[in-house]
Amino acid sequence: MQRHWYQQFWPWFLIVLPLCAVSASLYTFYLASSGADSMVVDDYYKKGRAYNKDLTELKRAAELKMLAHLSYQDEQVTIKLDGAHKAGEGIRVNFTHPTLEKEDHLLFMTTDASGVYRARLDTPLIDGPWNLQIEAADGTWRIQKRINLPISEPLLINAGS
């Protein structure tokens, strides 16, 4: 006696394969649509113009012969600036982690009586690579460099390098 089709192995095997592909594609669509990609920029033209502005700030720092002495110990950031900048001007210091956005720190610093910038962080910087930007509060110049933490002695960060 012949068995019914639904009691056979091969029809179910041939039905399950396309169902797996359909369910995997639906799950992939859900993953793609549920989270926005932070790397995609809506206004790429505006970003391109901002990039060119960044280059002028870097060139201005090189013209001023800016040099920063950075030290970081016990959650305290200390910066001493050399160059033709305005004495006592405020600066913005941005520690940007390459992969962990929640670890980023933005500091607004002013000098003490000896001309040194000091700030204490609420949370310590994790060890590893960091992108560092030091810029004037008015945005006229910028120094940037990729650094690796921890550091045992002060780093020299030269404009244009």
Number of domains forming the structure of the chain: 1
In whole angstroms, give the CA distance from residue 75 to residue 124: 5
Q: What is the pLDDT of residue 49?
A: 62
Q: List 111's β-bridge partners, or say none.
A: 117
In whole angstroms, give the CA distance from residue 149 to residue 72: 9
In whole angstroms, give the CA distance from residue 134 to residue 94: 7
Is the per-residue pLDDT at 143 higher than 80? yes
- Asked if residue 107 belongs to a domain, the reply is yes
The amino acid at 83: G
In whole angstroms, give the CA distance from residue 60 to residue 160: 9
Please provide residue 71's backbone torsions phi and psi, each rounded to the nearest 5 degrees: -135, 145
- Asked if residue 50 belongs to a domain, the reply is no
Strand order in the sheet with 91-96: 105-109, 91-96, 128-136, 142-149
- Asked if residue 5 belongs to a domain, the reply is no
Where in the sequence is the domain holding 140, given as residue range(s)? 66-158
- Asked if residue 26 belongs to a domain, the reply is no
- Asked if residue 9 belongs to a domain, the reply is no
Q: What is the pLDDT of residue 24?
A: 96
For the stretch 47-96, pLDDT in tens is 666 655 667 888 888 888 888 999 998 889 999 988 877 777 889 999 99
Q: Check if the beta carbon of residue 117 is closer than 8 Å to that of residue 107.
A: no
For the stretch 23-32, pLDDT in tens is 999 999 998 8
- Asked if residue 139 belongs to a domain, the reply is yes
In whole angstroms, give the CA distance from residue 29 to residue 21: 12
- Asked if residue 16 belongs to a domain, the reply is no
In whole angstroms, give the CA distance from residue 37 to residue 54: 24
Strands of 3-161 (E only): list them: 67-73, 76-82, 91-96, 105-109, 116-120, 128-136, 142-149, 155-158
Q: What is the pLDDT of residue 101?
A: 86
pTM of the model: 0.64
